[in-house]
Amino acid sequence: MNNFSRIGFILAAAGSAVGLGNIWKFPYITGEYGGGAFVLIYLIAVSLIGLTIFIAESYIGKEARVNAADAYQIVSKSKNSSWKFAGFQIVTGIVILSFYAFIIGWILNYILISFTGFPNDIQKAENLFNNLVTKEIGKQILFHTIVTLTVAYIIVKGVKEGIEKLNLILMPLLGLILFGLLIYSFTLDSFSKALEFMFMPNWDKVNENSILAAVGQAFFTLSLGMAIVITYSASMDKKTNFVKSSIMVAVVDTAVALVAGIIIFAFLFSAGAKSTAGPGLVFISLPLIFSTWGIFGQIVGCAFFVALLFAGITSAVSLLEPPLMYLMERYKVSRVKGTILCSLFFYILGIFALLSMSEDFGKFLTFFEKNLFDWLDYLTSSIAMPISGFITCIFLGYFVDQQELEKKFTIHINKIVFKIWLALIRYIVPIAIIILFLNKLGIIK
Ligand code: PHE
Ligand code: NA
């Protein structure tokens, strides 16, 4: 069989988890919500909510050993086919890929810029980013095409030769670059200030929104609710301790987020820059600081964006495998044909999404005051992902044979840990998701 090796699974799942969410999003929301206290809430959200669902998805995939659309059905052991609808998660993943791909394209642009030098005043740095997003359509489409072809090429080669090998190479390199950047940030005077910002709780800026942001980020960062963990676990070796593997992935993902945060805040504070720049933190504030370090800044900046690129590519690949596996199993299409079909879909949708942010075409692609890009992001992150997570909790918590569940879990972990997990999946996590969901829809504040 074309299965992952034990370490291959952990690497691939970590490759999916470690992405733009860790290096770009986690630092900027930590900045916005005031640092240490938010980090603490985030750690609780990842270990209680994120990890619980991760273990659940891994169990479903490992037991079913098929594509995510049929997995719930098989694990439920009922003839009733209503669980098939849980497979809509596959669509969520490929829609996310449509915009994830051109954002990786932006990173390619910044890697090229590192060769010639970063913008050296705030106006230039802002213009550079804004022009790229709103004016340079041809350039964006070119990068989007390169990213699409790369991802498709890796996926065509299969789980072992494509995905596992890619992660085997890129993940250690990513670790190495981040380690190097961490050492460098350690030499800056601002290092201790960054540590203090990240780990000394300051409760002033904490409100219910920080909790919601932390829970949302816990979902996104572990690639949950998109059939990814289910799909990868279906190719997991049968004897693998899926609970232990899940914990390892969550630990790696958290470590990368914390390290990225320390590096970025040390860089920002060294120049006296603010921590609250929002999404522009990495694409506007950081390049500005790199420009003040001369040629050395170009090297550090290049390394930083290459790390971001590697993190992004391994995540993008993980978004394509679930729909492909579905097409191959359900409609018996070949791997090559399936890849072409799925890639065309996200490629074209991605072009419309990037056009929706442009000056010239934006107005044709804006509906009810949200452009297409914002709609895709909203429908996936705020609607589809929490619904999927909720379904997974209810499914394992109430609709599968609990004795069998206990038997399968306690092969690997002791009974008390299983009971804790069960309480989380039955009560605590679904309730937390409902609150998050209603709040995002604006029904409760
Ligand atoms: N987990 C990835 C990150 O933190 C993002 C991602 C989401 C990747 C969904 C794949 C699927 O960036
Ligand atoms: Na992540």
User: How many angstroms separate the alpha carbon of residue 18 from the centre of ligand 1?
Assistant: 7
Mean pLDDT (the chain) is 93
Is it the case that residue 145 has pLDDT exceeding 90? Answer: yes
Stretch 420-440: mean pLDDT: 92
Question: Is 62 inside a domain boundary?
Answer: yes
Domain count, the chain: 1
In a domain, 247, yes or no: yes
Verify whether ligand 1 is closer than 6 Å to residue 96 (CB atom).
Answer: yes
Q: What is the mean pLDDT of residues 269-298?
A: 92
Neighbours of ion ligand 2 (CB under 5 A): 17, 21-22, 221, 253
Domain membership flag for residue 410: yes
User: How many Cα neighbours within 13 Å face the side chain of 249?
Assistant: 35
Distance between CA atoms of 417 and 410, rounded to whole angstroms? 9
State residue 197's pLDDT score: 96
> How far is 49 from 310, CA to CA, in rounded Å?
27
Which residue out of 223, 253, 379 has the highest number of ligand 1 atoms within 8 Å of its CB and is therefore the one to mutate?
A: 223
Residue 441 pLDDT greater than 80, yes or no: no
| Residue 1 falls inside a structural domain | no
Residue 428 lies in a domain: yes
Residues 149-168 pLDDT 10s: 999 999 999 888 899 999 99
User: Ligand 1 centroid to 192 CA: how many Å?
Assistant: 30
Ligand 1 in reach of 167 Cβ (< 6 A): no
445 lies in some domain = no
Burial (CB count <10 Å: 0-12, 13-18, 19+), residue 82: exposed
CA of 78 to the centre of ligand 1 (A): 32
Among the ranges given (26-40, 81-95, 221-235, 418-432), the one the predictor scored with the smallest mean pLDDT = 81-95
- The answer on pLDDT for 1 being more than 60 is no
Residue 151 lies in a domain: yes
Percent of the chain with pLDDT over 70: 99
Q: In this model, does residue 338 exceed pLDDT 60?
A: yes
Which atom of ligand 1 is nearest to 20's Cα?
A: 12
Is 60 exceeded by the pLDDT of residue 51? yes
355 in a structural domain = yes
Ligand 1 atom closest to Cα of residue 26? 4
Range of the domain at 204: 6-440
Token pair for 153: 């090429």
Q: Flag the least confident range among 9-13, 41-45, 348-352.
A: 9-13
Q: How confident is the model at residue 445 (pLDDT cuts 50, 70, 90)?
A: low
Residue 384 CB less than 6 A away from ligand 1 = no
- Residue (of 375, 318, 297) closest to 113 by Cα position: 297
Atom 9 in ligand 1: which residue has the minimum CA distance?
Answer: 223
Output the pLDDT for position 239.
Answer: 87
Q: Which of 76-80, 336-340, 414-418 has the lowest mean pLDDT?
A: 76-80
Residue with CA nearest ligand 1 atom 11:
223
Ligand 1 touching residue 16 (CB < 6 A): yes
State yes or no: pLDDT of 400 exceeds 80.
yes
Q: Which atom of ligand 1 is nearest to the CA of 93?
A: 11
Q: Is 242 in the pocket of ligand 1 (CB under 6 A)?
A: no
Closest ligand (CA of 253):
2
Q: Which domain CATH number covers 54?
A: 1.10.4160
Task: Note the pLDDT tens digit of each residue in 107-122.
Answer: 999 999 999 999 999 9
Is the sign of the CA dihedral 430, 434, 435, 436 positive or negative?
positive
Percent of the chain with pLDDT over 90: 78
> How high is the pLDDT of residue 82?
83
